[in-house]
Amino acid sequence: MGALINMMKYKTKFTELDNYVRIGDGNLILVCGQSKVGKSAFLHNLILNFISENHKVLFISLQKTKEEIFAYSLSNLSHINVSMIHDILGDVQDNINLTADEMDRFYLSMSELDNINTSLTICRQYAINEIEFVIAKAKESNSVDLVIIDSLTLIYNSEFCSLYEQNKNITQRLKKLAGEHNIPIIISGNINTSDIKSREDKRPKYSDIPFSIEYDFDIILGLYNDELINPDDSKYKGISEIEIMKNNGAAGGIRLAFMKDYNKYANLSYDWYDDY
Domains, the chain, in order of start with CATH, read: 2-275 (3.40.50.300)
pLDDT at 272: 44
Strands 239-246 and 219-224: antiparallel
What confidence score (pLDDT) does residue 276 get?
41
The answer to whether 183 and 139 are in contact (CB under 8 A) is: yes
68-87 residues labelled b (16+ CB within 10 A) or e (exposed):
ebbbbbbbbbbebebebbbb
pLDDT value of position 273: 44
Strand partners, 274: none
Identify whether the C-beta of residue 96 lies closer than 8 Å to the C-beta of residue 88. yes
Tell me the CA distances in angstroms from 107 to 54, 80, 204, one per residue in order. Answer: 22, 12, 39
pLDDT of residue 5: 44
Contact 29, 220 (CB under 8 A): yes
Contact between 126 and 62 (Cβ < 8 Å):
yes
pTM of the model: 0.92
- pLDDT 10s digit of each residue in the chain, 276 long? 444 445 568 999 999 999 999 999 999 999 999 998 999 999 999 999 999 999 999 999 999 999 999 999 999 999 999 988 988 887 655 556 788 999 899 999 999 998 899 999 999 999 999 999 999 999 999 999 999 999 999 999 989 889 899 999 999 999 999 999 999 999 999 999 888 888 888 899 999 999 899 999 999 999 999 888 888 888 888 999 999 999 977 778 999 999 999 999 999 975 444 444
